[in-house]
Structure 1
Amino acid sequence: MEFGSGAGGGSGDDNHDVLDPHRRKKRYHRHTANQIQKLEGIFKEFPHPDEKMRMQLSRELGLSPRQIKFWFQNRRTQMKAQHERADNCALRAENDKIRCENIAIREALKNVICPSCGGPPIGEDPYFDEQKLHMENLHLKEELDRVSSVAAKYIGRPISQLPPIQPIHISSLDLSMGSYGIQGMSGPSLDLDLLPGSSLNVPNIPYQSTSITDMDKTLMTDIARNAMEELIRLLQGNEPFWMKSATDGKEVLNLESYERIFPRVNSHLKNPNVYVEASRDSGVVIMNGLALVNLFLDSNKWVELLPTIVSRAATIAVISPGTIGSQSGSLQLMYQELQVLSPLVPTRQFYSLRFCQQIEEGSWAIVDVSYDLPQDSLFTSQCRARRMPSGCLIQDMPNGYSKVTWMEHMEVEDKGPVHRLYKDHIYSGLAFGAERWISTLQRSCERVACSMVTGTTTRDVGGVITSPYGKRSMMKLAQRMVNNFCSIINLPNSQQWTALSGTPNEFEVRANLHRFANLGQPHGMVLSAAATIWLPLPPQIVFNFFRDERTRPQWDVLSDHNPVQEVAHIANGSHSGNCISVLRAFNTSQSNMLVLQESCIDSSGSLVVYSPVDLPAINIAMSGEDTSYIPLLPSGFTISPDGRTSTLQTVHEGASSSSSTTTTGSLLTIVIQIMVSHMASTTTKMSQESVNTVNNLIGNTVQQIKVALNSST
C-alpha cells in the first residue's frame, strides 16, 4: 500500500505545489509488508490512536510520527470509501435481482389467460417499463463512479468497479508458429483440449475463499506489487545481484548484495536450519507470450503442462481477474505443491500469490510469492519452504516463439535430514532451480507444438494408418498416462508411501495400496511400489537403455522378458528420445495386449513411462475417438543427474591447463503398479504375501538392470 508522506485530509502542501511549479515533487514512502501488518493490527483495535501510541509505533516500526499519523488518516478514509462502495454494491445487486424477477414475471404474464374472455390480459403495469429500470441502473452507476473517484483520490490509485470474481477460462490460445524444422506446422491457434485441466489431483485445501476480507485483498495486492518490483529488478539486472558459480558457471544470487538492497525485517535466515536457493536461467520456448500467460494463470492447465515439477495446484481465490485479452493485473491466491520425481524427496507446499503484469507490448512478468495464511495445518511435509519473489519474464519474439527468463528464490527449512542419495541433487539447485523450470517448460511446449503438426510425423510399422485426429488422440492418451504416473510418485498426505520392513535389498522399497474410482483408471485394488538407486553412469546412457525396445527384455519382469517390437511411433519433440511408442510383445499368451510408452528427456532429467493397453483401445485412439475412459495403470522410470560433479583438468599445448565439470552418475527411481485381484474390496493393509511379492519384484528388476548396465554398485 502506497501513501504519500504528506497525503491525507487535504493538506495545504498540495496547493503550495501548484503555486510553486519549481518545487520538487514529494517522494513517496513505500511501507514494508511487516510495517503494514503491524499497522493493520493496531487499526483494528484503535482506528484513532493518540499521540502516545503514535510515538510508540514510530519507534517500533522505524517510521516518523507524521507518517504514522497520515497512515491512519488515509486508512480511515479508505475504510469509509469501502463502506460506501459496499453499500452501492448492495444496491446494485438488489436492483439486478428485482430486475430479474420483473423479467420473469413479464414472461409469465405472456402466458396468462383472462378467465372472463379467454384472451391475453390487456396492457401491462408501467412498473415493468424497461426504460425506467435502465434509468435506475444509470443512476446507481453514477453514484458508484462518484464514490470510486473519491476513494481513488485518497488511496492514491484507481479502484476497479465491481470486478467479476470468477476466473476467465480461455478455451483456445493464439499460437503463431515459426520455423520448427518439421513440415506442416502452421496452425494459428492451439486447442488446449490436449491440456484437459483435470482436477483429479487438486488437494483438499482447508482454507476457503470466503475467509478473505477486503482488507486481506488490499494487503495481498500490496505484497504482490512489491514482489513484482523486486522480481523485475532481479530479472533484468546483473551485477551486483548475480554472479557466476565457481563449480558449474551458472548464475547464482549474491546474497550479500541482495540483503543490502532488499532488507527484510523478519528474515528467516536467522534460523541456522534455513538455507537459500536462488538461481536464474533463460531460454527460447516454442509458444507465444500470451499463450504462456494464459496457461500459467489456469492452475489446472499449469499442472497438466508441467506435471514433472508441479504435483498439485489449485486457485483458492481470484483477487483480481486482470484485463481481458492481456491478463495484466491478474492476481490469484493459489496452493502449489512442487516435487522431485522420487518418494525419497518430500514435496514443497506453498500458499502463494500469483500476479501477472504486462510490462509493455509483447512482454509480461509473472511473480509468485509465499503468503502466510492463518490455517497452515496442511503443511505436514518434512521440508518447509518459503517462496521469495520468484517467477518469469516472458517476451514475444518475431518468429512467434518467446524468450523466457526465470528466477527461482526460496528459503528452505529442512525439518529432517535430506536423503543421502539426493543431497547433492538438491543442494546443487538441480531439484527446484531455474534451469529445471526452463528446460521442462521448453520440452512441454515442444510437445504441445508437435500436436499441431499436420505433416507426416508418425511412423507406422504395423500397418495401422494414423490420421491427424488419431495422432492427437494418442498424444492425449499418453499425456494422461504420464500425468497419472507423476501424481503417483508423490501422493497426497492421506496416502503416503510405506517403507517395507524385512526387505533383503540394499535399497529401500516403498509401497502403497489404494483403490481408483475415477474415469480412465482401473477399477480395483492397485499395489504401487517404488525404489530409488544410484548408478555410476551418465543420465543419457541410462535413458537410452530404457527407451530402446531391443534392450527391454533385459529388465521387463512383467512381460516375462519376451522381446518386443515397436508397431507405431509418434515424435513429440526435436530430440529423438521425445516420442510415443506402441509396443507388441512376442511369445505371450495375451496376443491382444500392447504397451503404450512415452519417453521424454531434457537437461534436467528424463522419463520412460509405460502402461499395458489392449488392442481395441489402441484402435479407438488411432481412429481419433475419445480416450478418456480407457483405463491406464502406468509404471516406469525417472532418471535425474545426481548433482555430483568431477573436475577434469586438460592441458593444451602452449597454454595453461583448464578445467571442466561433468556429472558422475544418475539417480534412477523405479515405479511399478500391479492390480491385486485377491485383495478384499475393503482392505487397505498389505498382506505379508503382497510385501514379499513387491520386494522380490523390485529387487529382481534392480538386479537385472545393474547386470545389463554392467553396474554392480
Structure 2
Amino acid sequence: MDSGDEQGVPDSRGRKKRYHRHTPRQIQELESYALHTSLPLSRVLHDGALSRAQHDRADNCVLRAENDKIRCENIAMREALKNVICPSCGSSPSSDDSYFDEQKLRMENSRLKEELDRVSSLASRYLGRPITQLPPVQPVSISSLDLSVGSYNNPGISPSLDLDLLLRNSSSSSSCAFQYSYPTAITELEKPLMVEMATNAMEEVIRVVQTDEPLWLKSGSEGRDILQLETYDRMFKRSGHQLKFPDTQIEASRDSAVVLMSSPTLVDMFMDANKWAELFPTIVYKARTIEVLASGMARSRSGSLVLMYEELQVLSPVVPTREFFFLRCCQQIEQGVWVVADVSVDYPRESHLAPSSTPRKLPSGCLIEEMADGYSKVTWVEHTEIEENNPIPVLFKDLVNSGVAFGAQRWLATLQRMCDRFACLTMAGLPARDLGVAPSPDGKRSMMKLAQRMVSNFCANIAASKDHKWITLSGSNDVGVRVTLHKSTDAGQPSGVLLSAATTIWLPASPERVFSFFKDERTRTQWDVLSNGNSVQEVAHIINGSHPGNCISLLRGLNSGQNTMLILQECCTDESGSVVVYSPIDVPAINVVMSGEDPSYIPLLPSGFTILPDGQRSSSLGSAVGGQGASSSSNPLRGSSGSLVTVAFQILMSSLPSAKLNLESVMTVNNLIATTVQQIKAALNCLD
C-alpha cells in the first residue's frame, strides 16, 4: 500500500512524536479486512503498524551493521595510510580524506616497481646476485635520526681568484661542524640489504683477523703482515675486485696491541661518531652518524648497526683527505670479546653529491678482547680500495702509496697514546713544577681538556679538506706556502677573521730527533721567530702518557716585558708521528683553568708542527697492486731515513668580520714561515 503523510507532535519530553496518516483507499481496505476477520479496526491498524515497525527495525539493523562494517574498514584504511612511507622520499603522504582512485594506484605501483628495480640493481652490485635470490632477513629495530645540516656543494677555488673570495660562504673554524647535507633516504627495501652487507662484513673481519697463513704472510725484514690477494679472493669468492679500475690500489694491513682502556668503553667510543673523532683527533678530521639502523643492547652495544660518514686526514694541507660512507656494526661474539666491522656503501647515490675520489672500505675492523686490570687487546685490520683521482705531492708519495699513512699500525699507535692520555686524565696529583701552587685534580683535568681542544683545533685547521680553500702563495717545490681564511664565531677562538698558513718540508733527520728539538724549551729560541730571542721557562708540567715526550707544559718568557702572557703547549708522539702545538694564553685565563672551571670559553689560537716519517724505508718493500700481496704495515715507521715536517701558523688577522686580506698580510705570513723554516734547517744542520 502507498503510505500517507507522516507528521509529528511534541511529546512530554519536548521531542516530536511521529504518527502515520493513511489515505482514503488504505482506510477502505483496512475496514474491509476488519469486517472479514471480526477484528476491530483499531486492532488491525495496530497490528499493521507493529508489523511495519518490526520490518523497519530489522532493515535498520542490517543497514546499521553494514554501515558499521564500512566505517571500520574506512578507519582501518585511514590508519594504514597514516603509516605509509613513500619509497622515493621516505616521508609520509599528505592527509587526504578521499580514497585512492585507480589511476593513483597505478602510479603508486609504477613507483614501487621502479624502486624494486633500483634496489635489485644495488643488490647485484653489493652482493653479486639479484634481489629475487636474497634470503629472508629478520626485521630489526629501526631508529632514524634527523639530519639537518648544511650543503655538500663546496667546490675548490682557483689560485688565480682574489684571496678575498675565501671569506665568502666561509663557516666557523670548528672542526666538529658537519657542513654537508644528505637526506635520510634509507628505504625499507634497502635496510635488509644493509643488514646482510654488515653481517657478511662481520663474518669476513672475524676470519681475516684470526687467520694467518696462507692469508697473511710475514715479511722477512720487519715481520709485518702482508695480505695475499689471490688467497683472499679464493677464500671470500671475490672476482678480482682489485682489477676493476686500472688505477685502483689495494691497501691492506693488520696489527695488534694492548691498550689501557676497558673493552666496553672502547666499543662505546667506536660506535659513537663524536667519541670516535675525539679518540683519533690526528686521523679523523670529522665524523657523523647518519642513521641508526639497529641500536643493539644498551650496555654491550652488541647488535648495533649504524650508517656513518668520516673524513680521514694526513697531518698536512697537501695530502687529500679520504671520505667514506660506511656501515659499522658491533657484535659480542663471546664473553669479553667484541667485533666491530666496517664496510663501504654507495651513499648518497646521486653522482653530483659523490666525493671526487672513490675510496672504499672493504670489510675492515677490529677484534677487541677484554683483559685484566682494565686493559684490552685490539687486533686491527684495514682493507681499502683506492682509486687515486687526486695527485699526491712527491714528498708524501712513499708514505701514502705504501699504505702506512692510513694503515692499521697508525690507528693502533694513536689508540695506545690516546688511551694513556685518558688514563692520565683520571689520575690524581701533579708534579711540583707549577705556578707556585699545585692545582687541584679538577684544575689538572681542566688544563688537559683545554690542551686537548687546542690539539684538535690545530689538526683540523691543517687538513686538506674541501672545507678549507687552500691557495699556494709561493714555493720552489710542489708544496709551497699555503694560506686559507675563515671567519671565527666559536667561543673557543678569538672572534674575527683568522688566517691559517702552512708549508711542509723534508728534513734529512729522524722524526725522533726533530721532535726532541721542538719539544725542548731550551732550544725554542732557535726556531721561534716571535720570541725575539728571549728564552722561555717551563713553569708547569703535566705528564700525558707512558712516553716521556707526551706532556703538557706552561711556558713563561724571560725578559720579554710581557708578564701577562704565557704559552700553553702540548707534545704528542707515537710510532706513527708527532705533534707539537702551542698557543699564547693570558694569566687570568690560566687562573680560571687552574681553579678547575670549565675551559670551553677560553680563546685559543694554536700554531705548531707535525712530524711524520718520510716512508722511504717502508716503501722499499713495495706494495702489490694486482700481485701477490698488498701494502701492509706492522711496524714500518721505525728507523725512517727522514722526516716530513709541516710548519703551521694561525693568526688573528682582524677582529672585524668584514676585514679583507691585503698584500701586506700575505707577505708578512709568507716571510714568517720562510724565516722559521730557515732557522729550523740551520739548527738541525740541514741546510741545502
C-alpha deviation, 1:460, in angstroms: 2.3
Is 1:216–2:190 an aligned residue pair?
A: yes
Q: In the TM superposition, what are the counterparts of 1:625-664 in structure 2 within 5 Å? A: 625-645=597-617, 662-664=639-641
Distance 1:406 1:494 in 2: 30
TM-score by length of 1: 0.70
Q: In the TM superposition, what are the counterparts of 1:303-452 in structure 2 within 5 Å? A: 303-373=277-347, 374-375=349-350, 377-381=352-356, 383-452=357-426
Listed one character per residue, the Cα deviations across residues 577-634 of structure 1 (whole Å, up to 9, x for unaligned) are 0000000011223211000000010000010000000001011101101111000000
3-state secondary structure, aligned to 1:690: helix
Distance 1:506 1:269 in 2: 30
Match of 1:201 in 2: 176
Distance 1:430 1:45 in 2: 46
Distance 1:199 1:462 in 2: 31
Unaligned runs of 5+ in 1: 1-40, 76-154, 168-197, 649-659
C-alpha change, 1:405 and 1:690, in structure 2 (3 Å) is same
Match of 1:675 in 2: 652
State the AA in 1 paired with 2:294. Answer: S
Distance 2:192 2:539 in 1: 58
C-alpha change, 1:598 and 1:300, in structure 2 (3 Å) is same
Q: Which has the higher contact order (CA 8 A, sep 6+)?
A: 2
Distance 2:198 2:111 in 1: 22
Q: In the TM superposition, what are the counterparts of 1:457-606 in structure 2 within 5 Å? A: 457-490=430-463, 492-501=465-474, 503=475, 508-606=480-578
Distance 1:46 1:345 in 2: 41
C-alpha change, 1:43 and 1:380, in structure 2 (3 Å) is closer
State the AA in 2 paired with 1:495. Answer: H
Is 1:666–2:638 an aligned residue pair?
A: no
TM-score by length of 2: 0.73
Distance 2:401 2:351 in 1: 26
3-state secondary structure, aligned to 1:698: helix
Q: Is contact 2:445–2:596 with CA below 8 Å preserved after alignment? A: yes
State the AA in 2 paired with 1:473. Answer: S
C-alpha change, 1:44 and 1:520, in structure 2 (3 Å) is same
Listed one character per residue, the Cα deviations across residues 238-276 of structure 1 (whole Å, up to 9, x for unaligned) are 111111235533112111111122233582533111111
Distance 2:372 2:128 in 1: 49
State the AA in 2 paired with 1:241. Answer: L
State the AA in 2 paired with 1:703. Answer: Q
C-alpha change, 1:384 and 1:646, in structure 2 (3 Å) is closer
Is 1:700–2:675 an aligned residue pair?
A: yes
C-alpha change, 1:505 and 1:417, in structure 2 (3 Å) is closer
State the AA in 1 paired with 2:676. Answer: T
3-state secondary structure, aligned to 1:233: helix
Match of 2:632 in 1: none
C-alpha deviation, 1:202, in angstroms: 3.3
Identical aligned residues as a percent? 53
Match of 2:264 in 1: 290
Distance 1:286 1:324 in 2: 23
Root-mean-square deviation (CA, aligned residues, Å) is 2.9
Q: Is contact 1:323–1:330 with CA below 8 Å preserved after alignment? A: yes
C-alpha deviation, 1:199, in angstroms: 7.7
C-alpha change, 1:375 and 1:590, in structure 2 (3 Å) is farther
Q: In the TM superposition, what are the counterparts of 1:162-173 in structure 2 within 5 Å? A: 163-165=142-144
3-state secondary structure, aligned to 2:521: coil
Distance 1:661 1:408 in 2: 20
Q: 2:113 aligns with which of 23, 45, 52?
A: 45
Distance 2:479 2:412 in 1: 32
Q: In the TM superposition, what are the counterparts of 1:15-34 in structure 2 within 5 Å? A: none
Distance 1:427 1:364 in 2: 31
Match of 1:281 in 2: 255
C-alpha deviation, 1:379, in angstroms: 4.5
C-alpha change, 1:511 and 1:255, in structure 2 (3 Å) is same
C-alpha change, 1:505 and 1:257, in structure 2 (3 Å) is closer
For the pair shown, the structure with the greater C-alpha radius of gyration is 2
**Paired positions, count:** 531
Q: Is contact 2:174–2:457 with CA below 8 Å preserved after alignment? A: no
